[in-house]
Amino acid sequence: MRMLLLGGLAAASLVGVAHAASSEGAMLVLKAPPAKAELILEGAMWRCTGTVCKAPAVKALPAVRSCRKVVAELGAVSAFTWRGEALDAAGVDECNTAAKP
């Protein structure tokens, strides 16, 4: 019985770690493939495959502000998620419009 309980606790802790890691990262979908497949921006390492780019860990900044900085480097996005917060269509439009290369 103890082994079953310990196994369940271990599994639950692994799920928690995986969730915490994903809530510290970011993901975006570009409208066109980027010129660079990798980019370091404000200490975050972005890796792109096709039009999807991911960073496993990013700073705790506002999502729209961060989106503008990334868009200025990589190009316009059609989707943007920052530390578990996905921008809605209006936020994505604002990000693309306000980004300065």
Closest CA to 99 of 78, 73, 79, 81: 73
pLDDT top residue among 68 and 15: 68
**What is the arithmetic mean of pLDDT over 13-29?**
62
How far is Cα 101 from Cα 94, in angstroms, rounded to an integer?
Answer: 15
Dihedral sign, Cα of residue 32, residue 98, residue 68, residue 36: positive
User: What is the distance of C-alpha 53 from the center of its chain?
Assistant: 8
- How buried is residue 35: exposed, middle or buried, by Cβ count under 10 Å (0-12/13-18/19+)? exposed
CB atoms within 10 A of CB 75: 19
pLDDT at 15: 42
pLDDT top residue among 99 and 86: 86
- pLDDT tens-digit profile of 71-84? 999 999 999 999 99
Q: Which residue has the tokens 């770690």?
A: 17
* pTM for this prediction: 0.74
Proportion of the chain in helix, strand, coil states, percent, rounded to 5? 45, 25, 30
pLDDT at 56: 96
CB atoms within 10 A of CB 99: 18
